[in-house]
Structure 1
Amino acid sequence: MQKLLTSSQMRLADAFTIANEPVSSISLMERAVQAFVANFVKEVTDLSANITVFCGKGNNGGDGLGIARLLFKIGYRHIKAYIVNFSNKQSDDFSENLKCLEQTGCEILTLNQPAGAKAVLADVVIDAILGSGLNKPLTGEYAELVQIINAFPSRIYAVDVPTGFPSEGMIFENYNGIKAYKTICFQRPKINFFFPESAEATEHYEVVEIGLNEAFIASQDSDIHLLEEEDIRKILKPRKTFSHKGTYGHALIIAGNTTTMGAAILSSMACLHAGAGLTTACIPPGGLVALNTLLPEVMALPRDEYTRIEDASKYQSIAIGCGLGVSAENAKLLESLIVIGQPLVIDADALNILGENSESIRQLPKHSILTPHMKEFDRLFGSHDNWWSRVETAKAKAKELQIIIVLKNQYTFICSPNSEVYINPTGNPAMAQGGMGDVLTGIIAAFVAQNYTALDAALLACYIHGKTGDDLASGQFVVNAAQLAEKVSHTIKQII
C-alpha cells in the first residue's frame, strides 16, 4: 500500500534522500531525467520527430533541460529547448543543467514573451515550465503561454505534473493549465490525478521510480493510500480443508423489482462467485422463475409489501437496494433492518430512500457499508461542486457515523471510520455499463458473509471487481456485468 504525499511532503522526501543516501541534488535530478526519458522513448520512437521542450527556470525546468540533453545524446536531432524567461530567479540545478546542455549542440532559445511561442512547430511538446506546489490558477504571461501551447496540434508530455495543475487540494474551476496527453511523474502519482477533474490536465499518467527514500515516505503523516495487489493478497484467506458451506457464511440480498430483476440476479450471481457459502435473494414473487432458472444455487425469500426479515441474525451479511425501487414499503423494510442494528451493505435505491430520511442516516448500524456514486452521495450528504470536497465529506461522515463509505468513480475512494482513505486503482472505461454497481454490492456482501471486517470486505471487493474488469477488457471493447460476475472467482484464485 502506497502512501500518497502532498507536494511539500515530496519535497521533504527529496531533501531527506539527498541528505541521507547521500546523493547530490543534481545527481537526484539526473535520476529523474533518466527515468523520464526511459519512459518517453518507448512511445516517441521516431528519432526525426520535432521535439520542443519548454523549460521554466526552477527545478522542473532543470529536469526539462536534462531531458533535452539526454534525448539529443540518444540521437533525437530535431530538439529545441525554450527557456521560459518570465522570472529573474533560477535554481542552482537549472543553471547546472543549462551549462551541460550548452555543451551538446542542442538548439537553445530564450522565450521572453509568450507570443514568441506562436512560431513553434513541433510534433511533440515536453512541458517542464512549472512544477508541483501551485495552489492558484495561472495568470499573466504563464497563462498566455499555456494557452498558446494547448492550441498546438502536438502531443504534450508533462514532467512530473502539468504546468498549472495543483497536486492536491481543490482543482480550480475553469482549469487553465497545460492539457497533457501524458504526465510522467516521479516516485508517486499526484493525489489529484485520482479526481475526475484531472482529465482536463492529463489524459494519462505513469509513475517512474527515482530512488527516493521509501522508509521516509512511509513515515510521513498521510491519510490517503493507494491500494496494491500485495495488500489484497495479504487480506485474502485461502479455503481450508474440512471447511463447508457454513464456514463461509450466509448472505441475504434484498434486491429487484418487477422491471428490475436483473439487478437482483447480478448481485446474487456476484455474491455466489465471490464465495459466500449460502446466498438467499429476497425478491418479488414474479422473479422466482428467473432466479431458479439462472441461479439454481441461490435460495429465494419471496418479498411482498408486508415482508419483514424475521430473523436477521441467521444471515452473516445483508445487502439491500439493487433495483429495489423507492416506495413507502421498501422504506419501512430498510428502517426495520436499521433498527435491528446489524451492519448492512446499502446501495442504489436503498441509498435514495436514506437520502430522504436524515434521521435514518444518523441511526445506521456501525460498520455498515454504503456504496454511492456521485449523485447518490450528494443526495445523502449535500451537494458538492468538486471532488476534493466530496471526498473530505466522505471522510468526515465515515468517521462520524463509524461506517464505510465506498464512493464510486473511475478511481473509487473507500473511506474508513478512522479517517483513512484508500484509493482503488483497478477498473477501466470498458466497464461503463449498467449493472456494475449491483455486482460490486454482491461481492461486498459475499466477503462480509465470510467474516472479513467491513473495511477489508470493501477493499477486497473494489479491487477484485476492478481487476476482473481489467482482465476482461484486455480482450474486448466493452465488459458487461454478467461476464464480470462470472469471472470474479477466477480473479480471486489468480491473486491468492
Structure 2
Amino acid sequence: MKLYSAKQIYKADQISIKKEEIGSNELMERAALQLFNWMHLRMQGAPVKIHLFCGIGNNGGDGIALARHLVDHGYNVEVYVVNYSEKRSKDFLINLDRLKDRKVWPHFMNSDDELPQIGGEDIIVDGIFGIGLNRTPDEWVVKIIQHLNNSKAFILSIDIPSGLFTDQGPDNFQAIIKSNYVLSFQTPKLVFFLPETGTFIEQWEVLDIGLDPEYLRVTETDYELIGKNEVLTMYKPREKYGHKGTYGHSLIIGGSYGKIGSVCLSSRAALHAGSGLVTSFVPKIGYSILQTSLPEVMVLTDTDENELTDIKFNLEPSVIGVGVGIGTSEVTIKALSSFLKSNKLPLVIDADALNILSKNKALLKDLSEDSILTPHPKELERLIGNWKDDFEKLAKVKEFSKKYKCIVVIKGAHTIIVHGEKGYVNTTGNPGMATAGSGDVLTGIITGLRAQGYPALDAAIFGVYLHGRSGDIAVESTGFQSLTASHLIANLAGAFIDLFKMPEPPEVEKENQQN
C-alpha cells in the first residue's frame, strides 16, 4: 500500500474533482458519509453524547458535514468550532449553512472562552486540523487539545490527529491530539508508523472516499506499507527437483566468549528460513556448543579460543551474515577489516560489526554492493549521527544508503527498510519482540532468504515481515512478557504457512470469537 504525502493527496483531490466533474463540496460530502457510516454501523443509535470539535478548514468542514448526518439520525451532538482564524474554507461555510438549516448552532470557541465539560463516557470527534497543518497551533488552541486529551473520553480523529504534521516532525508534543482511533482518508499517513508520532494513534483504519484510482496507481511514493499482499509477490516456491544446493549456503560469522548463543540463534533462523546449507564460523569455544545444539549446522573455527582473530574459510557461501556476538576488541576489528577488504560476496551485517563500522567509517566503502545493514536505534545513531526528528533520521538514512549502495533495516515497532530514495514500512510485529536475541534471529532469516536467491531488497523486506509475523503468531500463546527469540524461530514455519491462509468468512470469525 502506498503512503502518499499531503501534496499528493491534495493533487488526487483535484484530479478526482476534475475527472468526475463534481464540486469539492461533493467530495467532502462523500468523505462525511463514509465517516458517518463507519460510526453508525458501530453505534446503532446509542444514546451517547458526541462532541465534535471542528476547525475552519476542510478538515473542520468534514466534521461539520458529519455532524449533520449524526443529527439527521437522532444522535446527541454538540458542535464546537475552534475559531483559530478569520479565513474559512468555502466547503466549510457550505456545510455550516447546511447544519444551521437544521437549527443546530455550533459553539464558536475563541481564545478567552471557557473549556466545555466532557464526560468520560462521551465521544469526541476531532476535526480541528487536517493534513495541511504546517505550524504549531496557537497556545489557546493547544489548551483545547490538552483539555480533550485529559477528558478520558474516546477520541476519534478525522484523517489525522489534530496538531500532527503529515510530512515533518512535531515542534510541540503537547499540541497533538492523542487519538484512540483515526479514520484516514484513502491511505494511512507515514507519521502513523514513526516512533515519535505513532504514539498519538492507538488504532487506524482507511476509508475509501473514491479518489481517482488511475492517479493513485501511477503515482510513485517515497514510502510503501508492507503487508501480506506485498510480500506474497516476492515468495519463491520450492522446486520439485530441488536439492540442498539449490537453496544456497549461508555462512554466519560471529560469536565470542559468552556470546555464542547469538550465532546459534542466527544459524538456526537461517535454516528455518529455508537456506539449503548453513555453516557457522566461530571462535574455538563455540565448536562444541554448535555441534551439540545444532546438528544440522556445519562449524568452522578461528584459531583463537575466545574471539575472532582471522576470518578465513575454504568454502564459497551464497551469502554471509556477520556481526552477531563478535565483540569489538582490537584483534576482532582487525580481522573484520581484513575480511571486508577481500570479500565480494553478499553481506548481512548486524550487531558489533555495525559498531565496528561506525568507529571505522573508512570500512564502509569496502562493503559489497547491496549489503544489508540491520541496526537498532543506537547502532543507527552511531552510523549516521544524531537527528532532530524521525523525518531527519529517514533523510539521513536515505543519503547513507545511496552513498554506500546498501540497504538499511531500521529496526523498531514498525521496522523501515530503506533502499536509496525508497522506504518500506513493515506492519507485523509486537512489543513482545523487544527481547534479547530477536535481532540475531532477524539476521539469520534475512541471510537464509538471500542464500535462496532472493534479491537483496526482497530478502530484507520479506525477512522483516516474516520475523514480525512469527512474533505475532508466537505471542498468542506466550503473551508479550514471555516471548523469547527462540519462539520467533519456532513459529517461523507458521509465518510461512500463514502467507497462503485465506481469511475466515465474517460469520466463522464471529463464531470463533464467541467460542
TM range (shorter): over 0.9
Match of 2:310 in 1: 308
1:422 aligns with 2:409: no
C-alpha deviation, 1:370, in angstroms: 0.6
What are the within-5 Å matches in structure 2 for residues 273-288 of structure 1? 273-288=272-287
- Number of the residue aligned with 1:224: 223
Q: Residue 463 of structure 2 is aligned with which of 447, 461, 464? A: 461
Change (3 A) 1:74 1:308: farther
Q: If the length of structure 2 is used for normalisation, what is the TM-score? A: 0.90
Give the secondary structure class of the aligned counterpart of 2:202. strand
How many angstroms apart in 2 are the aligned matches of 1:138 and 1:15? Answer: 27
The residue aligned with 2:201 is: 202
Instruction: Give distance in 2, aligned partners of 1:43 and 1:480.
Output: 37
- Write out aligned runs for 1:337-352 (5 A): 337-342=339-344, 343-352=346-355
* Contact 1:254–1:319, Cα closer than 8 Å, also in 2: yes
Match of 1:483 among 480, 487, 506: 487
Residue aligning to 2:506: none
Aligned to 2:96: 98
**Range with greater deviation from structure 2 (149-158 or 393-402):** 149-158
Structure 2 vs 1, CA of residues 341 and 215 (structure 1 numbering), >3 Å: closer, same or farther?
farther
Measure the CA separation in 1 of the matches of 2:7 and 2:303.
57
| Greater CA drift, 105-114 or 196-205 | 105-114
Q: Is the 8 A contact 2:45 2:73 kept in 1?
A: no
Conservation of the 8 A alpha-carbon contact between 2:111 and 2:141: no
Residue 390 of structure 2 corresponds to residue 382 of structure 1? no
Moved more, 255-264 or 163-172: 255-264
Correspondence 1:181 to 2:180: yes
Residues 87, 166 of structure 1: CA spacing in aligned structure 2 closer, same or farther, 3 A cutoff? same
- 2:402 corresponds to: 399
Which amino acid is 1:265 matched to? C
Partner in structure 2 of residue 495 of structure 1: 499
1:312 to 1:149, Cα distance in 2 relative to 1, 3 A: farther
Quick check: 1:369 aligned with 2:372?
yes
2:472 aligned to 470, 473, 479, which one?
A: 470
- Secondary structure of 1:27 counterpart: helix
In structure 2, the CA distance between the partners of 1:264 and 1:214, relative to structure 1 (3 Å rule), is same
Question: Partner residue of 1:254?
Answer: 253
Query: Partner residue of 1:413?
Result: 416
Shift of 1:96: 2.6
Contact 1:269-1:486 at 8 Å conserved across structures: no
What secondary structure sits across from 2:368 in the alignment?
Answer: coil
User: Quick one: distance in 1 between partners of 2:262 and 2:25?
Assistant: 57
Q: After superposition, what is the alpha-carbon deviation per residue over 1:413-465, rounded to whole angstroms, capped at 9, x for unaligned?
A: 2111x421111122121222121111110011001111111111111101111
Is 1:21 the counterpart of 2:41? The answer is no
- Relative distance call for 1:273 and 1:134 in structure 2 (3 A) is same
CA distance in 2, matches of 1:359, 1:21: 56
Post-superposition offset of 1:131: 1.1
Distance 1:253 1:184 in 2: 45
Of the candidates 417, 434, 437, which is equivalent to residue 436 of structure 2? 434
8 Å CA contact 2:435–2:485 kept in 1: the answer is: yes
Distance 1:172 1:313, change over 3 A: farther
CA 1:353–1:40: 2 relative to 1, 3 Å: farther
Is residue 60–residue 130 contact of structure 1 (8 Å, CA) maintained in 2? yes
Q: Cα gap change, 1:15/1:37 in structure 2, threshold over 3 Å: closer, same or farther?
A: same
Is the contact between residue 193 and residue 414 of structure 2 (CA under 8 Å) also seen in structure 1?
Answer: yes
Question: Do the aligned residues in 1 keep the contact of 2:223 with 2:422 (CA within 8 Å)?
Answer: yes
The Cα shift of 1:411 comes to 1.2
Distance 1:489 1:231, change over 3 A: same
Write the distance in 2 (CA, Å) between the matches of 1:231 and 1:221. 16
Cα distance between partner residues in 2 of 1:42 and 1:236? 37
Q: Which amino acid aligns with 2:373?
A: L
Correspondent of 2:320 among 295, 318, 321: 318
Which residue is 1:291 aligned to? 290
Using the alignment, how far apart are the partners of 1:161 and 1:370 within structure 2?
Answer: 32
- 1:289 positional shift: 3.6
Change in 2 beyond 3 A, CA 1:20/1:395: same
* Residue 83 of structure 1, aligned match among 81, 84, 102: 81
How has the CA–CA distance of structure 1 residues 198 and 298 changed in structure 2, closer, same or farther, with 3 Å as cutoff?
same
Distance 2:286 2:340 in 1: 25
Give, in whole Å, the separation in 2 of the partners of 1:44 and 1:254. 57
CA contact (8 A) 1:245 1:278 kept: yes
Residues 33 and 66 in structure 1, CA contact (< 8 A), matched pair in contact too? yes
SS in 1 for 2:115: helix
SS in 1 for 2:262: helix
The Cα offsets for residues 289-337 of structure 1, whole Å up to 9 and x where unpaired, read as 4323332111111234365343476100111111222212221222122
Instruction: State the match for 1:58 in structure 2.
Output: 57
User: TM-score, normalised on structure 1?
Assistant: 0.93
The alpha-carbon deviation at position 98 of structure 1 amounts to 2.3
The answer to whether the 8 A contact 1:79-1:107 is kept is: no
1:147 Cα deviation from its structure 2 partner: 2.8
| Contact in 2 for aligned 1:114/1:145 (Cα 8 Å) | no
Deviations, residues 212-248 of structure 1 (Å, cap 9, x unaligned)? 1232123334322222322211111110111000000
Secondary structure at 1:345's aligned position in 2?
Answer: strand
Q: CA deviation at 1:495?
A: 1.8
8 A Cα contact 1:187 1:209, kept in partner: yes
CA-CA distance at 1:382 after TM superposition:
1.4
Amino acid at match of 1:349: D
Letter in 2 for 1:403: C
Instruction: Give a deviation string over 1:160-179, Cα, whole Å, max 9, x none.
Output: 11111100123325442222
Which deviates the most, 208-217 or 22-31?
22-31
Residue in 2 aligned with 1:236?
A: 235
Deviation at 1:106, TM superposition (A): 5.2
Looking at structure 2, the residues matched to 261 and 389 of structure 1 have their Cα atoms a distance apart, in angstroms, of 36
Is the 8 Å Cα contact of residues 137 and 177 (structure 1) preserved in structure 2?
no
Q: Distance in 1 between matches of 2:455 and 2:381?
A: 26
Matched residues, number: 493
Equivalent position SS for 2:327: coil
Aligned-pair identity in percent equals 37
Q: 1:119 to 1:234 in 2, by over 3 A?
A: closer
Q: Do the aligned residues in 2 keep the contact of 1:322 with 1:349 (CA within 8 Å)?
A: yes
